[in-house]
Structure 1
Amino acid sequence: MADDPVQTNPDNYRVVFENDRVRVLEYTDEPGHISTEHHHPDSVMITAGSFHRRLHARGTSVEVELLEGAVRWLPAQDHYGENTGSTPTHVFFVELKEPDPNPTPDGPQLGPVKLWPA
Structure 2
Amino acid sequence: MNDPVLTNPELYSVVFENARVRVLRYHDRPGDRTRPHHHPDSVMITMSSFQRQLIHGEQSVNVALPAGEIRWLDAQEHSGQNIGGTDTMTLFVELKEPAQAPTRAGQLGPRT
Do they superpose with TM above 0.5? yes
Amino acid at match of 1:77: Q
CA-CA distance at 1:14 after TM superposition: 0.1
Q: CA RMSD in A?
A: 1.1
CA-CA distance at 1:21 after TM superposition: 0.5
CA-CA distance at 1:59 after TM superposition: 1.1
Matched with 1:112 is 110
Amino acid at match of 1:91: T
Matched with 2:74 is 75
| Equivalent pair of 1:39/1:78 in contact (CA under 8 Å) | yes
Q: Structure 1: how far apart are the matches of 2:25 and 2:106?
A: 22
Matched with 2:24 is 25
| Equivalent pair of 1:76/1:108 in contact (CA under 8 Å) | no
User: How many pairs does the alignment contain?
Assistant: 112
Runs of 4+ in 1 over 2 A off after TM superposition: none
CA-CA distance at 1:99 after TM superposition: 1.5
Q: Structure 1: how far apart are the matches of 2:9 and 2:16?
A: 16
- Unpaired runs of at least 5, structure 1: none
Q: Structure 1: how far apart are the matches of 2:8 and 2:71?
A: 22
Amino acid at match of 1:41: P
- Matched residue SS, 1:7: helix
- Matched residue SS, 1:87: coil
Q: Structure 2: how far apart are the matches of 1:48 and 1:99?
A: 27
- Unpaired runs of at least 5, structure 2: none
Amino acid at match of 2:20: R
Per the normalisation by structure 1, the TM-score is 0.91
Amino acid at match of 1:93: F
Q: Structure 1: how far apart are the matches of 2:48 and 2:2?
A: 26
Per the normalisation by structure 2, the TM-score is 0.96
